[in-house]
Structure 1
Amino acid sequence: MRKPIDSMKESRRNDPADRSSWALINRSMLPVKLVSAVLVQFVVLVIGSSVLAGEASAIPSIGRVGTGSYARVAPTGARRPPETIYAVDTLCPPFPTNQWWSSVLWTPLSDAHYPHPLAVRAERTGLRVFYPGPQIIVTSRSILASMPGGSEDLTIGHSHIRSFDEARVETYSDWFVTVRFGDFKTGMSLTYGHGSPFVYAQYRGGTARIVFARKPEIWAGSPAEHAVAITVNGKHYALFGPRGSKWIAVDDSTWVNLASESPVFSLALLPEKSEKAFALFSRYAHSRVIGTEVRWQYDPATSSVVTTFNYKTVEYEGSSPGTLFALYPHQWKNTDVKILPYEYASVRGTMKLAEGQSFTTRMTFPGVLPVLPATPSWNRTIVDRYLEEDCTKTRGTTGDTYWEGKWLGRQATLAALATENGNRAVQQKVLRQIQQRLEDWFTAAEEGGRLKSSRLFYYDGRWGTLIGYPAAYGSDTELNDHHFHYGYFLRAAAEIVRYDPSWADASRWGGLLQMMIDDIACRRRGDSHFPFLRCFDVYAGHSWASGHARFADGNNQESSSEAMNAWCALILLGEATYDTALRDLGVYLYTSELYAINEYWFDVSSENRPRSFDKPVVGIIWGGKADYATWFSPRPEAIHGINWLPFHGGALYLGLYPEYVHRNYEALVAHKGGPNWDQWADLIWMYRALDDPQDALRQFSAAAGGFQPESGNSKTNTYCWIHSLLDMGRVDRSVTADHPLYAVFRRGEHRTYVAFNLRTVPVTVHFSDGTQITVPPGSRIAIQRVTKRSP
């Protein structure tokens, strides 16, 4: 699916087994009756640290964390990510793969990447800059806003160096990056980031050299001054040299800045051709962004996530503090920052300009459930029959991390449904299956102590990543899709921990769980072993799937719903283990990705896509385009369904806008010429049930059990999902709760309130409409049905 890259020389790293923080999931909030046990385990860890070190040195290929272990060297026959990493020598692992700019790390000169509203690419002549907004192309299957070949719009180069062999990452922050061309003595460092209309440059041994695609039109300022506004290719830019400098034209399309001191330069994309806009950007021209940082807070009382985006700037040349930034639709629709009267076009919709040193968004967290509850229309005998049928389909040989993960996720849902149906025998059987399978993966050694060749995880210190073998879809050589694969493992672990929280303790399997969590979503900046939030783009609000992003259209993500599966697992694990920081991380990632999905994959408001694009959904979001497509199938069932699966108690967000569910489903029916499903009929019925459960049940019943479920789904889950929604109705997004494990449904004049409690004390859940229910302790559920008329 994606091209592999040549490998290279290894750099030395400290062993992650030495990090004691990995050896436990935070239990500081445990009830008093468990504190003594935790203290005993902590003492055992401290006293046993020398023993573990001895074991690790005796078997240097294996690192031990509690009961679990992982490989310190790649297993026999395993493929690995490349050895050459294009970063400056002073920048050490771990490296942030799966970002919008990651191709800079993977190749001597980058592919196009998309810090909207701009698009940029590191080339031999410097950094090429392009504004795609005015040239968006719409086809029957795509919205294209990519950087074309050639030289448009302009290239930022160096006055004394005409060609660079490579560009390397010099530094980065949460949504900005600095790329160095040349060396520390002669070269240039260029800084740019998501939402920024600026590119900042610092020169060594020379000054700015700008090559335009064609002769620019000058309309403000003057080349005889340090600041000048131009139009090229129909786009408006401003060039800001240091004060006292001037511009000379080498030829019709090449300008060089003449500066005797302080060789700084800033390029700005102007939203319009006006003196007023030029004056605004002049105030911030040399307020250089040197750091960006996101902070989040989950507020249970209002079931909201407050996210703050901070800019750290250094002011040169008398610039004003702060900067200008363009907000995506999911940001400007949910912020109270003052929006300026300037806009940019983008493939994500309109971006709106603001100014300052920070801005904040507030988004509603809709809650998650471990499983949908059993309701009166469940026929317990039928559910038991489906459970027996589904559970006889055991997975024989171990699959790769993706397909093994999907099986683990399927089994976790079956175990939860067996609990709801009161079938303890099946529940225990399936829990034992997934526990044994996870423990096998979390053990790197065979019985004789030798390193296994499969069913294990390997820590790669060059990049700072955890790789599972057998790998799939480039998860080893390209570091693709880790949040998809590992999200299933984590959700299966969450089902175990619902009933046995000690399984995640330090002395057992908590260390390996934490490593897996940290690989996809480490919440600690500056961690010595994993990058901060590897798979998540904090400014775009969603995840990226490709580790290297080596595509002309930038990075991409297909199955947004599998990302949501991972973030739901973090919430459940955090809640069950009293790790509020982990829970809140999951809530932040889940809520942010949810808002991005509804704006960009689904566009539930029909405001962000060109009117000529008539599809209600896109299968893949790219940096430079949106595709009604998948990586694996042209069938419409797959294009729609890949952003639904897997269905579980954390998938109810798909039904927050029933009117959109109806539109999406009807478009799929129209594409097929009727409800004639060639694949994934079970997923389509389950999605349909979020709007019309009666029609979903009619289609399900007509199949008479003769359908083949999608490989990560089951007949049991299909039956139970449809019947639960038949009784409870649509998801009601107008009511929230002060507890993370909740859902509210509406059917006619009836509301159904559902809450789970994974802790060891009763929990009273308060809903925003005044309803409250008390949930018993110990992975228990409470349901309350109330008749309430709408105000």
Structure 2
Amino acid sequence: MFSPRATRSTNSTISTGSAGSHTPIGRRRSRIAAPVALLAGAALLAGCTGGPAASVEGTSSASGTATGDGGGSGAAGSPAPTDAAVTAALAGIDQQSVAKIAPTRLADGLVPPTNRWFSGLVYGDEPLPVFPNPLSIKLSDTGLALGLPQVTATEKTIMGGINPQIQLPLGAAKMTVTAYDTLSVTATYSAADGAALGSVTLVQGSPYVTYTAATDQTIPVEPIFTPSASGGPASVTVAGHEYGLVVGQGATLGTAGSGTPGAVTLPAGGTMTVFAAADGMSLADLAATASDPVVGGDVSYQVSGDTVSTTLQYRTAGGGPTAIVPMAGTTVTAGAATDGTYPTIYGSAGIYTGTSVTVQAPLTQPASELDLSGLSDADRQAVADQVRTDAAAVLADNFSATDTYFGGKFLYRATTLMTLADQLGLSDVAGQLRTALTAQVKQWFSAKGCADATATKCFVYDPTAKTVIGQQASFGSDEINDHHFHYGYLLYAAAVLAKDDAALKAEITPVADLLVADIASSQATADFPQYRNFDPYAGHAWASGSSPFGDGNNQESSSEAVNAWNAVALWGQVTDDQQLTTQGEWMMSTEAASAKRYWTNTDLSEFAGFTHSIVALNWGGKRDYATWFSAEPGAALGIQLIPMGPYSQYLAGDADRIKANLAEGASGGYGVQFGEYMAQYLALADPAAAKAQLGNLPAEIDNATTKAYVMAYVLSRADSSD
């Protein structure tokens, strides 16, 4: 997650870097604020260290395979049409301009690209570094700089921030993002009089950065690239990193005998491409595909059997092959591998050649209830007794939280409790909870709920920011932070309640569809960006709306991201929308695999200086053992577990790693914050040991769950043969 949300951390502080100045948890942070280091009593200050895509159409076949396609052109002004149901829902909901962020460098006609790896280019006083992998890149109004990150590791941080070793001073006066798609972003540079000078396209997974001139110009590249005597690319070495440069479409590189040494002269349409050498692959090999610049990308996905696949498709100017660098550690099932690798903060990343690669992840099935069939009679009775106790407390509280995060958690908590009551035959308790929940869900999902200025449990659509925002913002949700975390809880409750209530489903569907469109629109339209939070290349979501950080965007709560896509898939099932169900399964499974790969079960063998078993907070340019809200080890692990839904078996599979993570996270026992989730996590590795910890849970259970649900989860593992 981007913002702190733990209920028992309200007195914690985050250092802002100014002597004697701290920002209380829960308030908006400045862009130089950093997560709290996981060292008791201390805070860590980390340095500041489009366009529309084509629609995704899911289909299913008798073989059990479902596919979808996304991506497309980045041209402004050509959005796909908004789904008719979403259009109708937009016409019915209150509309207000309430977002507290606005683009400062975005071309007219483009939907604001929040929650992207490149959002820092679009928002704020000045463009911030971005990390499309494997390069780090810094754009400014006058030019750009790039370089391979210098990857280092300390006790709590794996660092690979901006490393501006190659400078391209363009002599421009302004930079504007003029197009983007699923994999790329294009920035156009203009002179003081507004005339376009040229553009640069940055592409995830590409080692190339290409500048295309819009008018005749000469660019004094720094440092000077030396032409190869053997006919290979021009090259330069900076602090041990070798870089190559190729020119095309009439551009020339000045030499001692021709023009200014090191300067590139470009006619209109001329190109120059800079790239970094790789381990095990020569500059000449990389130069072979550098001359055909990447101009955009597309993504398609497939859900088949027990796997999901994501295909990253790269489009070049001439239609030829290119070099592609998937995220480190992913399982590549289609693509022409080379011997080359790049060092990244996520590990060594391989290089493939061609026009696409396909990566695969195991299927994580959406779920809304536990399997209680293995519970003993005694355990069923113990859980039933606790359900009655917890239900009384939940109903007495009367859903007091009114913001979208805690309000969503309260609905989720009551929904899982209602489901347990149904499963255990407690019809009176289930009925009471259903009645109370139905009233709450109707309030939250009322299209005109915000017509009353004093209302809180409601949403508006911001037609300028192109997003749905809760009337009572929390943790920067009005800066478009964390929408997937918040709305996942709300959509889960809506899906479970509407499953057996056709009238309720009809009433809440318009607003529920808008929440889905806000965080997971299957296509880029004039009203919503495609996927908003979810990054198909990275395989996970980004939490910050504007990404006002020098280390790129970030995500902390990997498990709440999985919870969001579980809710999207469940809503697809309830509304008989097979395409949405398939999309939700793909996003959920991909995010779950990434959660293990980069957060809980990450391979740290290349980072000897990093001394912890998990990474709590991943960025574009660094990885931290730190959280936004607490310095406790249990917080670092617990925020990767919350809310431990019925689908959370994806965290299983390596009992030794689970125990190693708990040896640190639960070193102080299970009576700490998030101890209830850690007990459930232990049940995935050692059910008997987890059952023994049920008497040692914290006195105050997190407000996304109940003691009854924790008991049922643990006992369903301990009393089964699994």
TM-score by length of 2: 0.83
Q: Tell me the secondary structure at the aligned position of residue 591 of structure 2.
A: helix
Task: Quote the sequence identity (%).
Answer: 28
Distance in 1, matches of 2:218 and 2:351, equals 27
The answer for the alignment partner of 1:467 in structure 2 is: 469
- Alpha-carbon shift at residue 666 of structure 1 (Å): 2.1
Shift in CA distance, 597/254, structure 1 to aligned 2, threshold 3 Å: farther
Q: Deviations over 1:691-727 (max 9, x none)?
A: 1111111121356xx7221121211011111110002
**Contact 1:98–1:547 (Cα < 8 Å) also in 2:** yes
Q: Tell me the secondary structure at the aligned position of residue 187 of structure 2.
A: strand
The answer for the alignment partner of 2:403 in structure 1 is: 400
The answer for the alignment partner of 2:321 in structure 1 is: 322
Distance in 1, matches of 2:618 and 2:487, equals 21
**Contact 1:445–1:451 (Cα < 8 Å) also in 2:** no
1:167 is the counterpart of 2:175? yes
The answer for the alignment partner of 1:743 in structure 2 is: none
Shift in CA distance, 676/417, structure 1 to aligned 2, threshold 3 Å: closer
**Contact 1:108–1:167 (Cα < 8 Å) also in 2:** no
Match of 2:641 among 641, 644, 661: 644
**Contact 1:209–1:254 (Cα < 8 Å) also in 2:** no
The answer for the alignment partner of 1:283 in structure 2 is: 288
Alignment of 1:659-670 (within 5 A): 659-669=656-666
The answer for the alignment partner of 2:34 in structure 1 is: none
1:695 is the counterpart of 2:689? yes
Runs of 5+ consecutive residues of structure 1 not aligned to the other structure = 6-20, 30-51, 54-62, 730-745, 747-791
Which structure has more RCO (C-alpha within 8 Å, separation ≥ 6)? 2
The answer for the alignment partner of 2:153 in structure 1 is: 138
- Alpha-carbon shift at residue 189 of structure 1 (Å): 0.6
Match of 2:349 among 325, 348, 351: 351
**Contact 1:293–1:311 (Cα < 8 Å) also in 2:** yes
The answer for the alignment partner of 1:385 in structure 2 is: 385
The answer for the alignment partner of 2:716 in structure 1 is: 724
Aligned residues: 639
**Contact 2:638–2:675 (Cα < 8 Å) also in 1:** no
The one-letter amino acid paired with 2:423 is: E
Q: Deviations over 1:536-591 (max 9, x none)?
A: 11100000000111101110000010000011112222223321111101111011
Pair member with larger Rg? 1
1:220 is the counterpart of 2:228? yes
Match of 1:105 among 116, 122, 130: 122
- Alpha-carbon shift at residue 614 of structure 1 (Å): 2.4
**Contact 1:641–1:680 (Cα < 8 Å) also in 2:** yes
TM-score by length of 1: 0.76
Shift in CA distance, 84/326, structure 1 to aligned 2, threshold 3 Å: closer
Shift in CA distance, 651/502, structure 1 to aligned 2, threshold 3 Å: farther
- Alpha-carbon shift at residue 479 of structure 1 (Å): 0.6
The answer for the alignment partner of 1:434 in structure 2 is: 437
Distance in 2, matches of 1:360 and 1:27, equals 19
Q: Deviations over 1:87-119 (max 9, x none)?
A: 123xx2422210100111113531111011101
- Alpha-carbon shift at residue 210 of structure 1 (Å): 4.6
Match of 2:422 among 419, 424, 427: 419
The answer for the alignment partner of 2:509 in structure 1 is: 510
Alignment of 1:248-327 (within 5 A): 248=255, 255-260=262-267, 262-272=269-279, 277-299=282-304, 302-315=305-318, 321-327=320-326
- Alpha-carbon shift at residue 64 of structure 1 (Å): 7.3
Q: Deviations over 1:197-221 (max 9, x none)?
A: 0001111334352543xx5574735
The answer for the alignment partner of 1:634 in structure 2 is: 631
Moved more, 368-377 or 285-294: 368-377
**Contact 2:252–2:266 (Cα < 8 Å) also in 1:** yes
The answer for the alignment partner of 2:189 in structure 1 is: 181
The answer for the alignment partner of 2:612 in structure 1 is: 615
1:204 is the counterpart of 2:207? no
Alignment of 1:7-46 (within 5 A): none
**Contact 1:390–1:715 (Cα < 8 Å) also in 2:** yes
CA RMSD of the aligned region, Å?
A: 3.0
The one-letter amino acid paired with 1:198 is: Y
Q: Tell me the secondary structure at the aligned position of residue 244 of structure 2.
A: strand
Q: Tell me the secondary structure at the aligned position of residue 713 of structure 1.
A: coil
Shift in CA distance, 313/711, structure 1 to aligned 2, threshold 3 Å: same
- Alpha-carbon shift at residue 439 of structure 1 (Å): 1.3
1:654 is the counterpart of 2:651? yes
Match of 2:169 among 151, 157, 168: 157
Distance in 2, matches of 1:321 and 1:232, equals 30
Distance in 1, matches of 2:166 and 2:251, equals 24
**Contact 1:686–1:721 (Cα < 8 Å) also in 2:** yes
1:247 is the counterpart of 2:254? yes
Distance in 1, matches of 2:165 and 2:228, equals 19
1:72 is the counterpart of 2:95? yes
Alignment of 1:547-562 (within 5 A): 547-562=545-560
The one-letter amino acid paired with 2:100 is: P
Q: Deviations over 1:710-763 (max 9, x none)?
A: 12121101111111000225xxxxxxxxxxxxxxxx3xxxxxxxxxxxxxxxxx
The answer for the alignment partner of 2:18 in structure 1 is: none
Distance in 1, matches of 2:690 and 2:60, equals 45
Q: Tell me the secondary structure at the aligned position of residue 383 of structure 2.
A: helix
- Alpha-carbon shift at residue 245 of structure 1 (Å): 1.6
Q: Tell me the secondary structure at the aligned position of residue 282 of structure 2.
A: helix
Shift in CA distance, 687/208, structure 1 to aligned 2, threshold 3 Å: farther
**Contact 2:409–2:489 (Cα < 8 Å) also in 1:** yes
- Alpha-carbon shift at residue 124 of structure 1 (Å): 4.0
The answer for the alignment partner of 1:39 in structure 2 is: none
1:625 is the counterpart of 2:622? yes
Distance in 1, matches of 2:371 and 2:499, equals 15
Q: Tell me the secondary structure at the aligned position of residue 623 of structure 2.
A: strand
**Contact 2:153–2:608 (Cα < 8 Å) also in 1:** no
1:82 is the counterpart of 2:90? no
Shift in CA distance, 309/646, structure 1 to aligned 2, threshold 3 Å: same
Q: Tell me the secondary structure at the aligned position of residue 417 of structure 1.
A: helix
Shift in CA distance, 116/84, structure 1 to aligned 2, threshold 3 Å: closer
**Contact 2:335–2:358 (Cα < 8 Å) also in 1:** yes
Q: Deviations over 1:14-56 (max 9, x none)?
A: xxxxxxx9xxxx9999xxxxxxxxxxxxxxxxxxxxxx99xxx
**Contact 2:292–2:322 (Cα < 8 Å) also in 1:** yes
**Contact 1:100–1:554 (Cα < 8 Å) also in 2:** yes
**Contact 2:116–2:535 (Cα < 8 Å) also in 1:** yes
Shift in CA distance, 338/83, structure 1 to aligned 2, threshold 3 Å: closer
Shift in CA distance, 208/127, structure 1 to aligned 2, threshold 3 Å: farther
**Contact 2:233–2:283 (Cα < 8 Å) also in 1:** no
**Contact 2:457–2:471 (Cα < 8 Å) also in 1:** yes
The one-letter amino acid paired with 2:148 is: Y
Alignment of 1:697-712 (within 5 A): 697-702=691-696, 707-712=699-704
Distance in 2, matches of 1:452 and 1:592, equals 40
Q: Deviations over 1:220-240 (max 9, x none)?
A: 359xx8941221121111111
- Alpha-carbon shift at residue 683 of structure 1 (Å): 1.5
- Alpha-carbon shift at residue 347 of structure 1 (Å): 0.4
**Contact 1:348–1:608 (Cα < 8 Å) also in 2:** no
Moved more, 105-114 or 348-357: 105-114
Distance in 1, matches of 2:504 and 2:306, equals 29
Q: Deviations over 1:227-277 (max 9, x none)?
A: 412211211111112356222589xx98321345642111111215x9x72
Moved more, 458-467 or 572-581: 572-581
**Contact 2:499–2:505 (Cα < 8 Å) also in 1:** no
